[in-house]
Structure 1
Amino acid sequence: MTAVLFDFSGTLFRIESTESWLRAALDEAGLALAEAELALAALELERVGALPGGMAPRAPMPDEVAAVWGIRDESAELHRAAYTGLSRLVPLPDPALHDALYDRHMSPAAWQPYPDAAEVLRALREREVGVGVVSNIGWDLRPVFRAHGLDPYVDVYVLSYEHGVQKPDPRLFKTACTALGVEPRDVLMVGDDRRADGGAAALGCGVHFVDHLPAAQRPDGLRPILDLVG
Structure 2
Amino acid sequence: MTAMPVTTVLFDFAWTLFARDPERWVANAAASIDRTVAAGEAHRIAGDYAALLRETATDPAHITRDLDPRVWDRAIRSVLEQIPGVDQALASALHETHAEAIEPYADTAATLSALHDGGVRIGVVSNVGWDIRKCFARHGLDGYVDAFVLSYEVGFVKPDPRIWGTALEALHAAPGQTLMVGDHPAGDGGSVSAGIPALILPMVDSPARKRGFEHVLRLAQIPS
Q: Quickly name the TM-score band, shorter chain normalised.
A: 0.7 to 0.9
Is 1:85 aligned with 2:90? no
Secondary structure of 2:123 counterpart: strand
Correspondent of 1:33 among 32, 35, 51: 35
Q: 1:115 maps to which residue?
A: 106
Q: Map of 1:175-214 to 2, 5 A cutoff?
A: 175-214=166-205
Structure 2 CA distance for aligned equivalents of residues 196 and 6 of structure 1: 12
Looking at both structures, which has the greater relative contact order when contacts are Cα pairs under 8 Å and sequence separation is at least 6?
2
Q: CA RMSD in A?
A: 2.8
Contact 2:183–2:201 (8 Å) recurs in 1: yes
Q: 1:215 maps to which residue?
A: 206
Correspondent of 1:6 among 3, 11, 19: 11
Correspondent of 1:69 among 42, 52, 62: 62
Structure 2 CA distance for aligned equivalents of residues 127 and 57 of structure 1: 34
Contact 1:72–1:79 (8 Å) recurs in 2: yes
- TM-score norm. by structure 1 comes to 0.81
Contact 1:84–1:98 (8 Å) recurs in 2: yes
Secondary structure of 2:181 counterpart: strand
- Residue 34 of structure 1: CA displacement? 3.9
- Residue 92 of structure 1: CA displacement? 6.0
Q: 1:21 maps to which residue?
A: 25
Contact 2:20–2:207 (8 Å) recurs in 1: no
Seen in structure 2, the aligned counterparts of structure 1 residues 92 and 131 have a Cα distance that, compared at 3 Å, is closer
- Residue 91 of structure 1: CA displacement? 6.5
- Residue 133 of structure 1: CA displacement? 0.2
How many residues are aligned here? 213
Seen in structure 2, the aligned counterparts of structure 1 residues 174 and 134 have a Cα distance that, compared at 3 Å, is same
- Residue 72 of structure 1: CA displacement? 2.2
CA shift digits 1:195-224 (9 cap, x unpaired):
111111111112111112123685250111
- Residue 87 of structure 1: CA displacement? 2.8
Residue segments in structure 1 that go unaligned for 5+ positions in a row: none
- TM-score norm. by structure 2 comes to 0.82
Structure 2 CA distance for aligned equivalents of residues 212 and 58 of structure 1: 11
Q: 2:99 maps to which residue?
A: 106
